[in-house]
């Protein structure tokens, strides 16, 4: 008999079904025994009574929380006065006919029928496969899937093509440290994990893929920060033949639709989403990610906004050089190279940030598509021409074959979900997050590898100190 989920049981009143899952609770009432069975869709009550054989009833009495069982039984309405309106299946129960124990469980290191906030995060991350049994985290994963599904449907209807880009790529400066991967076949050479698919999505515009998107995994080897992750997920978008208003308008329509469909209890502080110049935001709110909510204690208020007209460059005092405020591929609002080089600090960029309730949830820009402008930006940042050609020659060459004006944006999925789900941090909306210092406590990573593995990728193990 086909197994059904708890959420489907109400369709089978008067019929026999097979259900399977984890024992949530066991309640004994003399001649009656009740088990709440939990699966990924919810819970359903199983009842064992005098009609059962002694073997089945005795086996049911051995049940303990978190054992995995399968039950075949008859779906019936609960007796009057015994209903539980607090759960979707609270008006019915399954009178068990057959019971099978699929696996037993040791006592868990913490309860999983609570929110989990009361448990130390280190313990929760160590036993994440148990922590994820919580209803709250199941809800978060389900909502995450619904948001991503909505994004895909919306963008496909707007003629976007979803394209996967490489994870093993080239190390390039994009604002953070790269994770490096040594090559076994090319001795002394390294791949890098992408901080973003930036160059690939621009090259797709050269290829004529005028509307690209990807649910992209990104990797940044940053110093420990409480609410950042070494790997994260963003909605990556790039478009050809567009201006800034086209991109911001698309994002506003997308997020208004997500909220209205999936979070109808939420309300917008202001529509359309306000657009603030960077200088205005800093002068008025002392922040480039202002919280525009009227009532900052209201968890259902969403203060979306765009911040535009960022400076093109910022001065790095410790390095005694100019650096790109966003990244070097951003298009300056002037393409007069002499003007750019004369006073980089005055140049503005076609850069925009997407903010919500005081957090940056995305950023993007129009891109430089004239090779000479891109080269000038790298020179202002202190790169010599040979280095530019070595690290970005592939992009500059591609642009020599006909490149459309283009731009994009990359909203972070994790941050947005944490805000709309009223979670304290992004780790609560990720299946397997790491600690603030990028450790995976469950898998015990990072970890050492054998000397042989190091030799295969042409790295030499550290010599152990010799005993005297």
CATH number of the domain within which 75 lies? 2.40.50.140
Identify which of 310, 344, 351 has the alpha carbon closest to the alpha carbon of residue 329: 351
Identify which of 407, 374, 403, 408 has the alpha carbon closest to the alpha carbon of residue 391: 374
Q: Which residue has the tokens 């400066």?
A: 173
389 labelled binding-site residue? no
Instruction: For residue 337, count other CB atoms closer than 10 A to its CB.
Output: 17
CA distance 392 to 157: 34
> Exposed (0-12), middle (13-18) or buried (19+): which is 214, by Cβ within 10 Å?
buried
- Of 73-82, 217-226, 332-341, least confident by mean pLDDT is 217-226
Q: What percent of the chain has pLDDT over 90?
A: 81
Rounded to an integer, the average pLDDT of 379-408 is 90
93 within some domain: yes
Q: How far is CA 70 from CA 48, 55, 212, in A?
A: 14, 16, 45
Do 17 and 81 have their domain in common?
yes
Do 76 and 197 have their domain in common?
no
Do 362 and 420 have their domain in common?
yes
- Of 51-55, 122-126, 239-243, 376-380, least confident by mean pLDDT is 51-55
CATH number of the domain within which 234 lies? 3.30.930.10
* Structure confidence at residue 463 (pLDDT): 59
Q: Among 70, 103, 136, identify where a domain stops.
A: 103
Largest Cα–Cα distance in the chain? 92
Do 52 and 151 have their domain in common?
no
Do 95 and 190 have their domain in common?
no
413 labelled binding-site residue? yes
Residues near 204 by Cβ (< 8 Å), separated by ≥ 6? Answer: 163, 212, 238
Q: What is the DSSP letter of 465?
A: P
Q: What percent of the chain has pLDDT over 70?
A: 97
Do 151 and 12 have their domain in common?
no
Q: Quick check: helix, strand or coil at residue 152? A: helix
Q: Domain range holding 50? A: 6-103
CA distance 36 to 123: 26
Is residue 178 within 8 Å of 221, Cβ to Cβ? Answer: yes
- DSSP symbols for 255-317: HHHHHHHH-TT-EESSSSPPEEEHHHHHHHHSSSS----S-TT-TTEE-EEEEE--BSEEEET
Identify which of 291, 271, 411 has the alpha carbon closest to the alpha carbon of residue 356: 291
Do 173 and 71 have their domain in common?
no
Residues near 89 by Cβ (< 8 Å), separated by ≥ 6? Answer: 6, 7, 9, 10, 42, 43, 44, 45
Do 157 and 282 have their domain in common?
yes
List the beta bridge partners of residue 278.
Answer: none
353 labelled binding-site residue? no
Q: Quick check: helix, strand or coil at residue 376? A: helix
The pLDDT confidence band at residue 468, using thresholds 50, 70 and 90, is: very low
Is residue 348 within 8 Å of 311, Cβ to Cβ? Answer: yes
Q: Among 66, 88, 103, identify where a domain stops.
A: 103
* Structure confidence at residue 175 (pLDDT): 64
Do 264 and 163 have their domain in common?
yes
221 labelled binding-site residue? yes
Rounded to an integer, the average pLDDT of 335-362 is 94
CA distance 150 to 160: 13
382 within some domain: no
Rounded to an integer, the average pLDDT of 114-133 is 97
Identify which of 59, 94, 49 has the alpha carbon closest to the alpha carbon of residue 73: 94
* Structure confidence at residue 222 (pLDDT): 84
Q: Chain-wide mean pLDDT for the chain?
A: 93
CA distance 51 to 33: 12
46 within some domain: yes
* Structure confidence at residue 382 (pLDDT): 87
113 within some domain: no
Q: Total domain count for the chain?
A: 2
Q: Which element (helix H / strand E) includes 387?
A: helix 385-399
Do 141 and 95 have their domain in common?
no
138 within some domain: yes
Name the more confident of 466 and 270. 270
- Of 184-198, 215-229, 398-412, least confident by mean pLDDT is 215-229
List, for residues 409-446, the tens digit of each pLDDT value.
Answer: 999 999 999 999 999 999 999 999 999 889 999 999 99
Is residue 208 within 8 Å of 374, Cβ to Cβ? Answer: no
326 labelled binding-site residue? yes
Identify which of 63, 57, 62 has the alpha carbon closest to the alpha carbon of residue 98: 57
Name the more confident of 23 and 52. 23
Q: How far is CA 113 from CA 118, 130, 147, 419, in A?
A: 12, 11, 26, 23
Q: Is the pLDDT of residue 464 over 60?
A: no
Strand 92-103, strand 42-48: pairing: parallel
For residue 119, the Cα-to-chain-centroid distance in whole angstroms is: 23
Is residue 68 within 8 Å of 91, Cβ to Cβ? Answer: no
415 labelled binding-site residue? yes
334 within some domain: no
Strand 42-48, strand 32-39: pairing: antiparallel
Q: How far is CA 104 from CA 21, 35, 108, in A?
A: 12, 15, 12
The pLDDT confidence band at residue 465, using thresholds 50, 70 and 90, is: very low
CA distance 354 to 80: 53
222 labelled binding-site residue? yes
Do 198 and 272 have their domain in common?
yes
Residue 357 tokens read as 């309730």
CA distance 420 to 303: 11
356 within some domain: yes
Residue 208 tokens read as 């004529």
- DSSP symbols for 324-365: ESS-TTBPBS---HHHHHH-GGG-BBSEEEEEETTEEEEEEE
233 within some domain: yes
128 labelled binding-site residue? no
* Structure confidence at residue 31 (pLDDT): 87
Do 279 and 356 have their domain in common?
yes
220 labelled binding-site residue? yes
């Amino acid at each position: 008999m086909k197994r059904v989920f708890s959420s489907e049981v109400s369709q089978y009143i008067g019929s026999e079904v097979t259900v399977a899952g984890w024992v949530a609770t066991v309640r004994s009432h003399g001649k009656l025994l009740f088990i709440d069975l939990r699966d990924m869709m919810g819970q359903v009550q199983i009842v064992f009574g005098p009609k059962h054989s002694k073997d089945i009833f005795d086996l049911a009495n051995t049940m303990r929380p978190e054992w995995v069982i399968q039950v075949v039984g008859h779906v019936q309405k609960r007796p009057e006065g015994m209903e539980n309106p607090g759960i979707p299946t609270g008006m019915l129960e399954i009178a068990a006919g057959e019971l099978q124990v699929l696996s037993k469980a040791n006592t868990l290191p913490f309860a999983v029928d609570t929110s989990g906030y009361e448990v130390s995060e280190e313990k929760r991350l160590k036993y994440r496969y148990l922590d994820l049994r919580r209803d709250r985290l199941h809800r978060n994963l389900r909502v995450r899937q619904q948001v991503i599904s909505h994004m895909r449907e919306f963008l496909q209807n707007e003629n976007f093509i979803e394209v996967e880009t490489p994870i093993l790529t080239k190390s390039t400066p994009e604002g953070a440290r790269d994770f490096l991967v040594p090559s076994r076949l090319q001795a002394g050479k390294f791949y890098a994990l992408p901080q973003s698919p930036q160059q690939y999505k621009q090259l797709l515009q050269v290829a004529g893929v005028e509307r690209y998107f990807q649910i992209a995994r990104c990797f940044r080897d940053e110093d420990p920060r409480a609410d950042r992750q070494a790997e994260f997920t963003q909605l990556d978008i790039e478009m050809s033949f567009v201006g800034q208003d086209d991109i911001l308008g698309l994002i506003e329509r997308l997020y208004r639709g997500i909220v209205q469909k999936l979070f109808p209890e939420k309300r917008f502080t202001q529509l359309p989403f306000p657009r603030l110049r960077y200088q205005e935001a800093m002068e008025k709110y002392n922040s480039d990610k202002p919280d525009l909510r009227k009532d900052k204690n209201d968890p259902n208020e969403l203060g979306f906004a765009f911040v535009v007209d960022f400076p093109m460059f910022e001065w790095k005092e410790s390095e005694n050089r100019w650096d790109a405020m966003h990244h070097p591929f951003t298009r300056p609002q002037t393409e007069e190279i002499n003007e750019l080089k004369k006073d980089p600090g005055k140049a503005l960029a076609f850069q925009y940030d997407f903010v919500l309730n005081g957090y940056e949830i995305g950023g993007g820009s129009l891109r430089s598509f004239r090779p000479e402008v891109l080269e000038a930006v790298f020179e202002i940042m202190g790169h010599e021409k040979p280095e530019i050609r070595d690290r970005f020659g592939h992009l500059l060459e591609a642009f020599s074959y006909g490149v459309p004006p283009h731009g994009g944006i990359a909203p972070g999925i994790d941050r947005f979900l944490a805000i709309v789900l009223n979670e304290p941090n992004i780790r609560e909306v990720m299946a397997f997050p790491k600690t603030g210092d990028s450790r995976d406590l469950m898998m015990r990573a990072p970890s050492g590898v054998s000397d042989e593995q190091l030799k295969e990728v042409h790295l030499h193990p550290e010599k152990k100190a010799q005993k005297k």
